[in-house]
Structures are given as structure tokens and as C-alpha cells.
């Protein structure tokens, strides 16, 4: 295991927790009247989520042969949780990018979908990690 892989393996759970916590706190702040608090949580969530995206990218690269065999051989006996996790992660990433690019402010419809899918992603990530230990 190279030095980068060593650090990325350690970064993955930390970035995951930071993204989940800031996302939940951002949602809570969206129900309040303090726009500055919402903005601070929004910036923190974007930073934590970009860090998580980077660490997941290294993780997926490390397991690229699993994904390549999926493309070649089909689902077969592949982990359905990992497949569902991958699809959910991609969907949450796309909705997050849409929020950054097209939505201004709190309480948007796409933001609510992003939040709900983020909760699902959190649960699937925890199940995935627990099965790997």
C-alpha cells in the first residue's frame, strides 16, 4: 500500500463523518431564520463533501477491477449493497452539483431530495463499511 493510499484510506471515514454531520446540521439550519448560520453550514458541507468525493474517488480507483468485472460479467454475485451504494453516491453527487450550480438559498425541492438521498447514502455507507470489517 503506497503512502497516498494509506492516507486516503484513513481520510475516507473522517470525510464521510464530516460530510454527514455538516449535511444534517445544514438541514437543521435551513429550518431556522439565521441565514448566516445556514451559509456557514453550507460552506462547511461543500468543503467536507468535496473531501469525501476525493477520498471516494481514490477508493473506487483502488477497487476499479471490481467495477470492470461488473461491466464485463454483469451483476452475478456482486454485492447488491455496493451497487446500490455506488448508484446512490453518484445521484447524491449529481444533485449536490445541481444545488451548487443552479439553486440559490435554502429549502429548495432539489435540496430536500439531496438531503433525503444523503441520509440513505449515510446508511448504505455504514452498512458497506460494517460488512468490510
- Report the sign of the C-alpha dihedral through residues 51, 44, 27, 126, in that order: positive
pLDDT > 90 in the chain, percent: 49
Over residues 105-120, the mean pLDDT reads 89
Across the chain, mean pLDDT equals: 87
The predicted-structure confidence for 11-25, as pLDDT tens digits, reads as follows: 899 999 999 999 999
Dihedral over Cα of 100, 7, 11, 90: its sign:
positive
Q: State the pTM of this model.
A: 0.85
The count of other CB atoms within 10 Å of the CB of residue 89 is 20
Burial of 101 (0-12, 13-18, 19+ CB in 10 A): exposed
Q: What is the pLDDT of residue 1?
A: 56
Amino acid at each position: 500500500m503506497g503512502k497516498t493510499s494509506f492516507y486516503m484510506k484513513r481520510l475516507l471515514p473522517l470525510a464521510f463523518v464530516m460530510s454527514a454531520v455538516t449535511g444534517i446540521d445544514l438541514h437543521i439550519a435551513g429550518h431556522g431564520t439565521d441565514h448566516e448560520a445556514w451559509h456557514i453550514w453550507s460552506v462547511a458541507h461543500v468543503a467536507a463533501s468535496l473531501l469525501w468525493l476525493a477520498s471516494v474517488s481514490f477508493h473506487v480507483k483502488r477497487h476499479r477491477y471490481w467495477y470492470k468485472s461488473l461491466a464485463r460479467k454483469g451483476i452475478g454475485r456482486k454485492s447488491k449493497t455496493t451497487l446500490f451504494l455506488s448508484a446512490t453516491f453518484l445521484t447524491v453527487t449529481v444533485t449536490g452539483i445541481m444545488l451548487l450550480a443552479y439553486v440559490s438559498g435554502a429549502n429548495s425541492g432539489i435540496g430536500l431530495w439531496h438531503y433525503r438521498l444523503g441520509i440513505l447514502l449515510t446508511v448504505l455507507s455504514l452498512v458497506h463499511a460494517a460488512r468490510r470489517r
